[in-house]
């Protein structure tokens, strides 16, 4: 618009006395509250993840408001045009902040859950999977499964006060958990004085069968050190018996939506539990499957064929003596 046109419009306004009236403070406040209320109801009425829908409807409402403002303008009234733009911006900022806090809360929740079963490093990796990590269901996966049980615990518990028994049990379970975590395994569950651990789940793990065997040997060594301390308070001898198997199992969250366990089930797990029953105190007993995968990397002695309860046919079992050096571990 040229300067002469501007001057002409100003002059025409004076001649016609066509002054535009601004809204009073009270009316402006009521209009502001109304706009914010409509936007807020729209925002909170939608699910928090429907931000695109919110922005689309906000754009429609803004255009409609400007159309109404144009009608008012033609009738000599000025409506504020800033509020329809500022309100969605404020709510969008709130949305981003809310999403950030909810994601942090979800991550803390996942870390709290998985931190009971895996090391902090593994738990941090799991939380990247978000809420999917908490869904029911399972998948078939090749894993190594370890069972360890305290030998001689029953007579020990009968000879000591309950408080001392619990203290000793907790020390043994702490020992088993540390050995599992140190070798990147997952503590599946505690069953009385026994511990079950799995390897290669929930995260993929290189050389997971060897990790399981190393865990067993670490447990046996640590148990011998703890046993020396216990001789001060009791003449009872205790030690770990470890059984390890590998193969396909069903891995996942099993239970209900209100109570679930991350666990492994299947024949692979059953055989590992039976192998643990074959191990004497201080022994790490493995299956033929474990021996075949680690042949040449471990020193193991055949214990012959055994009938394992609930398992069809005889099974060759081995006692691990040591892991050879330069195995990559």
User: Can you give the pLDDT of all 329 residues of the chain as single tens digits?
Assistant: 444 554 454 444 444 444 455 555 666 666 666 666 766 666 666 555 566 666 676 677 677 767 776 776 666 666 666 665 666 666 667 666 777 777 777 666 666 656 555 556 556 655 665 555 545 467 899 999 999 998 878 777 887 888 888 888 888 889 999 999 999 999 888 888 899 999 998 888 999 999 999 999 999 998 887 877 776 666 667 788 999 999 999 998 777 767 777 789 999 999 999 999 999 989 999 999 999 999 999 999 999 999 888 888 888 999 999 999 765 54
What per-residue confidence (pLDDT) applies to 273? Answer: 95
Distance CA 265, CA 9 (A): 85
- Non-local (6+) Cβ contacts of 149 within 8 A are 193, 194, 195, 240, 241, 276, 277
User: Are 164 and 221 part of one and the same domain?
Assistant: yes
Check: CB of residue 147 under 8 Å from CB of residue 194.
yes
Going by C-alpha positions, the residue among 109, 105, 185, 108 that lies closest to residue 147 is 185
User: Are 34 and 176 part of one and the same domain?
Assistant: no
Q: Does residue 301 form part of some domain? A: yes
Q: Does residue 293 form part of some domain? A: yes
Check: CB of residue 244 under 8 Å from CB of residue 216.
yes
Structural domain ending residue among the three candidates 79, 111, 143: 111
What per-residue confidence (pLDDT) applies to 88? Answer: 64
User: Are 166 and 247 part of one and the same domain?
Assistant: yes
User: Are 62 and 138 part of one and the same domain?
Assistant: no
What per-residue confidence (pLDDT) applies to 6? Answer: 47
Q: Does residue 269 form part of some domain? A: yes
Residue range 20-42, pLDDT digits in tens: 555 556 666 666 666 667 666 66
What per-residue confidence (pLDDT) applies to 207? Answer: 95
Q: Does residue 126 form part of some domain? A: no
Q: What are 1's two structure tokens?
A: 């618009």
Structural domain ending residue among the three candidates 61, 76, 111: 111
For 13, the domain range is: 3-111
User: Are 150 and 259 part of one and the same domain?
Assistant: yes
User: Are 191 and 249 part of one and the same domain?
Assistant: yes
User: Are 139 and 174 part of one and the same domain?
Assistant: yes
User: Are 241 and 276 part of one and the same domain?
Assistant: yes
Q: What's the CATH number where 223 sits?
A: 3.30.70.1230
User: Are 166 and 315 part of one and the same domain?
Assistant: yes
What per-residue confidence (pLDDT) applies to 239? Answer: 81
User: Are 94 and 153 part of one and the same domain?
Assistant: no
Query: What is the tally of structural domains in the chain?
Result: 2
Q: Does residue 76 form part of some domain? A: yes
User: Are 212 and 254 part of one and the same domain?
Assistant: yes
Q: Does residue 117 form part of some domain? A: no
What per-residue confidence (pLDDT) applies to 32? Answer: 64
What per-residue confidence (pLDDT) applies to 13? Answer: 47
Q: Does residue 305 form part of some domain? A: yes
Element spanning 144, H or E: strand 137-151
Q: Give the pairing type, strands 298-307 and 314-323.
A: antiparallel
Q: Does residue 200 form part of some domain? A: yes
User: Are 154 and 68 part of one and the same domain?
Assistant: no
CB atoms under 10 Å from CB of 73, counted, come to 13
In the DSSP assignment, the letter for residue 233 is T
């Amino acid at each position: 618009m040229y300067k002469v046109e501007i001057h002409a419009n100003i002059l025409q306004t004076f001649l016609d006395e066509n002054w535009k009236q601004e809204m009073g403070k009270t009316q402006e406040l009521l209009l502001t509250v109304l706009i914010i209320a409509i936007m807020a109801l729209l925002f909170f009425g939608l699910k928090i993840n429907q931000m695109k829908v919110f922005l689309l409807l906000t754009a429609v409402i803004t255009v409609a408001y400007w159309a109404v403002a144009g009608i008012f303008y033609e009738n000599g009234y000025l409506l504020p045009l800033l509020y329809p733009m500022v309100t969605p911006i404020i709510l969008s900022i709130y949305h981003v902040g809310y999403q950030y806090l909810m994601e942090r809360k979800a991550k803390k929740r996942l870390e709290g859950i998985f931190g009971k079963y895996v090391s902090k490093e593994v738990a941090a990796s799991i939380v990247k999977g978000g809420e999917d990590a908490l869904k029911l269901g399972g998948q078939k996966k090749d894993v190594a499964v370890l069972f360890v049980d305290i030998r001689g615990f029953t007579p020990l518990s009968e000879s000591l006060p309950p408080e001392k028994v619990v203290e000793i049990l907790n020390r043994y379970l702490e020992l088993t958990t540390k050995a599992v975590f140190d070798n990147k395994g997952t503590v599946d569950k505690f069953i009385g004085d026994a511990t079950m651990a799995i390897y290669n789940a929930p995260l993929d793990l290189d050389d997971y069968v060897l990790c399981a065997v190393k865990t067993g040997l670490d447990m046996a060594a640590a148990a011998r050190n703890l046993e020396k301390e216990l001789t001060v308070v009791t003449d009872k001898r205790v030690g770990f018996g470890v059984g390890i198997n590998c193969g396909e199992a069903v891995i996942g969250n099993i239970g209900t939506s209100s109570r679930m366990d991350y666990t492994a089930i299947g024949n692979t797990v059953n055989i590992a539990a039976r192998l643990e029953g074959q191990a004497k105190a201080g022994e790490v007993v493995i299956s033929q499957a474990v021996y075949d995968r680690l042949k040449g990397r471990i020193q193991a002695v055949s214990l012959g064929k055994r009938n394992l309860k609930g398992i069809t046919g005889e099974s060759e079992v081995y006692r691990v003596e040591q892991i050879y050096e330069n195995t990559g571990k």
